[in-house]
Amino acid sequence: MLPDLHKELSKFSKSDDFQQTTIPIKDKAIHLTFYKTLISHEQLHHDLLSFIVIPTFEINQLHEIKALLPIEEIEVSSNLEDILKGLTHGSVFLQMDPHLHEGLLVNMADLKLGHRDHNDTQNEYSVLGPKVGFVECLDTNMSLLRTGLVTEKLIFEELSVGSISKTRTVIAYLEGITNPQHVNTARQRLLDLDFDVVFETSLLELLITDNSNSPFPLFLSSERLDRIMYALINGEVAILCDGSPTIITGPTSLFSFLISPEDYYLPWIMGSFFRLIRYFGIAFSILATSIYVATLTYHYTLIPRDLLGPIIESRTNVPFPPLLEVLFLEITIELLREAGSRLPTKVSQTLGIVGGIILGQAAVQAGLTSNILLIIVSLSALASFTTPIFKISNTIRFLRFPLIILASLWGGLGIMIGLMFILGHLLRLKSLGSPYIVPLFPFRHNSLSDSLIRSSFTLTSKRFFTPRPVSKHRYTVQKNKDIGDDYNNE
């Protein structure tokens, strides 16, 4: 004998927002069960109660109520697990008789509850291009993608992740473009995931990543609509999570983290120039302080004679070796960054500017560091901010410290050993099963036109190689040229 659903649901009444109520209708009664903090009370009274109470004819069956209500998402269910899942997602469970073993699950979730009214990008700002970003509502984010990519090829697959949270998670891809292998891999990793509560896509990324011990992010996360759209049309898989304003995509490559959407809103010469500036800034940020330590510790003979005098003069009153001097300034910069990121915007800007100036000047006057190193560390910190993705900026900040220690132990040889370890680690990394440093390894010369530089659109008609898309061509270049030639001939 099946248990009484009404009594089974009464066991969850310990929570104050769990509500069970009875609505009398003539000689019958309608039993409603719901979480009052999840549903839209306006919709409950306007679309459900008003239609049940008003009719003059007698209601005897659930299907009569289902046909009467102006609501699309209504499901007849008698499974306790499905009912609890519906209740925790904002549905109202309706029974005509508590002794019956089925009822109606009427979706009345309040979609506006706890969500932002504005969806401007907060952390990925650019001067050119749209400023539309994602919010914490999964349905809103899906709507933004559907509006941006007006095609029937855009597929959404919804899953439930988290043994306790039951977080709604969606896999998005373009059918006929995205490689089915990547879709299957992402789906299988999400289905095999055994975790209690999934708060955000960043946590989800750590749980399904190919290598959890790597400091490099293996999924690209972004809150910009145009960046996710570009990833989808290149054949990548996007993963959306309810309650998260960021979306992760894969498989991705290391070069994707160094590409800004603004590159494609500028002439290709300017886009390539700024991208090369970005690469130089990253190399400078990683190597500048370690080269300083190696040069002053082991290779001071390489310093030009004109520069040797100012360096000796600036270090005259510094009692520490170059290693401790560099670590002192680098840790100070990191403390300022962490403090600034935890404070309100206006306070953090004041802290960064005033704190940097005061601490830097005081450190030089106290003889704790030299003027030259202070300039190098400041430029190194600025260079790390040139990356458009925050997560790769954290990786760059981290890589400086092991290289500084290796430089203090073995000089230039130590730096080379560190770089070889980093390169070897990159060669082994994979993103959703695909090589991480394509097009360098495996080498694909056709993909260099949109990785190291941003070539003209006449040279980027093919999709990037990393996702191994089913359809390799985005558009036909020759057709565009013919149109231009016809116009010129007129």
Q: Which of 271-285, 437-451, 467-481 has the lowest mean pLDDT?
A: 467-481
- Residue 152 has what DSSP assignment? T
Q: How confident is the model at residue 261 (pLDDT cuts 50, 70, 90)?
A: confident
pLDDT score recorded for residue 171: 94
Q: Which residues pair with 430 in a beta bridge?
A: 435
Q: Write the pLDDT tens digit of every residue in 129-188.
A: 778 888 888 888 888 888 888 888 899 998 989 888 888 899 999 998 999 999 999 999
Q: How confident is the model at residue 54 (pLDDT cuts 50, 70, 90)?
A: low
Q: Which single residue is written with the structure tokens 């190597």?
A: 287
pLDDT score recorded for residue 97: 73
Quote the CA–CA distance of 19 and 29 in Å, as a whole number: 16
pLDDT score recorded for residue 273: 92
pLDDT score recorded for residue 487: 46
Q: Under DSSP, is residue 249 helix (H, G, I), strand (E, B) or coil? A: strand
Indicate if the pLDDT at residue 403 is higher than 80: yes
Q: Write the pLDDT tens digit of every residue in 7-38.
A: 677 777 777 778 888 888 777 778 888 888 78
Cβ neighbours for 91, distance < 8 A, ≥ 6 positions apart: 34, 39, 73, 105, 106, 107, 108, 109
pLDDT score recorded for residue 399: 94
Q: Which single residue is written with the structure tokens 């996710």?
A: 228
Quote the CA–CA distance of 260 and 57 in Å, as a whole number: 63
Quote the CA–CA distance of 36 and 19 in Å, as a whole number: 7
Mean pLDDT across the chain: 83
Q: How confident is the model at residue 113 (pLDDT cuts 50, 70, 90)?
A: low
Average pLDDT of the residues in 273-299: 92
Quote the CA–CA distance of 53 and 421 in Å, as a whole number: 73
111 vs 70 pLDDT, higher one: 70
90 vs 284 pLDDT, higher one: 284
Average pLDDT of the residues in 112-118: 62
Cβ neighbours for 347, distance < 8 A, ≥ 6 positions apart: none
pLDDT score recorded for residue 65: 79
Indicate if the pLDDT at residue 216 is higher than 50: yes
Q: Are residues 336 and 249 in contact, defined by beta-carbon separation less than 8 angstroms?
A: no
> What is the bridge-based pairing of β-strands 430-431 and 247-250?
unpaired
Domain ranges of the chain: 5-107, 115-252+456-490, 285-430
Q: Write the pLDDT tens digit of every residue in 307-349.
A: 888 888 888 788 888 899 899 888 888 888 877 777 666 556 5
pLDDT score recorded for residue 3: 55
Residue % of the chain over a pLDDT of 90? 26
Q: Under DSSP, is residue 366 helix (H, G, I), strand (E, B) or coil? A: coil
Q: Write the pLDDT tens digit of every residue in 231-241.
A: 999 899 999 99
Residue % of the chain over a pLDDT of 70? 88
- The CA-CA-CA angle for residues 330, 334, 340, to 5°, reads 145
pLDDT score recorded for residue 1: 35
pLDDT score recorded for residue 404: 95
Q: Under DSSP, is residue 31 helix (H, G, I), strand (E, B) or coil? A: strand
Sheet holding 154-161, edge to edge: 154-161, 167-174, 237-241, 247-250, 220-222
Average pLDDT of the residues in 40-52: 81
Indicate if the pLDDT at residue 2 is higher than 80: no
pLDDT score recorded for residue 357: 66
pLDDT score recorded for residue 30: 83
Q: Are residues 59 and 65 in contact, defined by beta-carbon separation less than 8 angstroms?
A: yes
